[in-house]
């Protein structure tokens, strides 16, 4: 792709074309999506948190195909966070980290400690490789286009079907 996805996403391109462009992006192009683009997505299509100016976008994704998924990306008091849902042996939990840490090049590795009944702590790791991060970003971009242009997409799909 010769165009920058950070610009194309907010340009006056038809929503169906934007979805086609997103589907055609390579891993390196997906990883080139900037933090500013993600923050703008959250501000435009995110839902407000109860009685605050904070916003968040919940979207469906495959996570790391192992023991973790990303439930949402939130802006809380001006900082962007990623909310992870982690499956452990006997319980599940949520953990948050900054978007900057998650978007850093290379493997993202998080750890959650689970205690047994004796108080002994056991670490549970969850990892996101660049391939996993690219999948999460692709799902977020598609979620943005689907929510932002919901009516236009429905109309365009009706016209295609007819």
pLDDT in tens, 11-57: 999 999 999 999 999 999 999 999 999 999 999 999 998 888 899 99
pTM for the whole thing?
0.91
Its domain, for residue 71, covers 5-161
How far is residue 115's CA from residue 95's CA, in Å, rounded to a whole number?
Answer: 16
pLDDT at 135 over 60: yes
Q: Is 88 exposed, middle or buried (0-12, 13-18, 19+ CB in 10 A)?
A: middle
More confident residue, 62 or 7: 7
User: Per the structure, how many domains does the chain have?
Assistant: 1
- Give the gyration radius of the chain's Cα atoms: 18
| Alpha-carbon separation of residue 153 from 8, 24, 99, 114 (angstroms) | 17, 18, 29, 45
SS3 content of the chain, % helix, strand, coil (to 5): 40, 30, 30
């Amino acid at each position: 792709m010769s165009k920058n996805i950070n610009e194309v996403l907010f340009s006056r391109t038809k929503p169906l074309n934007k979805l086609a462009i997103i589907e055609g992006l390579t891993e390196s192009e997906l990883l080139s999506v900037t933090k500013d683009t993600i923050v703008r997505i959250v501000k435009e299509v995110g839902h407000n948190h109860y009685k605050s100016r904070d916003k968040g976008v919940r979207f469906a994704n495959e996570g790391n195909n192992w023991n973790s998924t990303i439930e949402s990306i939130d802006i809380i008091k001006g900082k962007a966070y990623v909310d992870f849902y982690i499956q452990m042996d006997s319980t599940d939990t949520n953990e948050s980290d900054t978007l900057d840490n998650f978007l850093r090049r290379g493997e993202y590795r998080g750890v959650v400690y689970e205690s047994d009944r004796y108080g002994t702590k056991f670490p549970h790791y969850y990892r996101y490789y660049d391939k996993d991060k690219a999948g999460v970003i692709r799902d977020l971009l598609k979620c943005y286009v689907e929510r932002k242009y919901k009516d236009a997409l429905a109309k365009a799909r009706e016209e295609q079907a007819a």
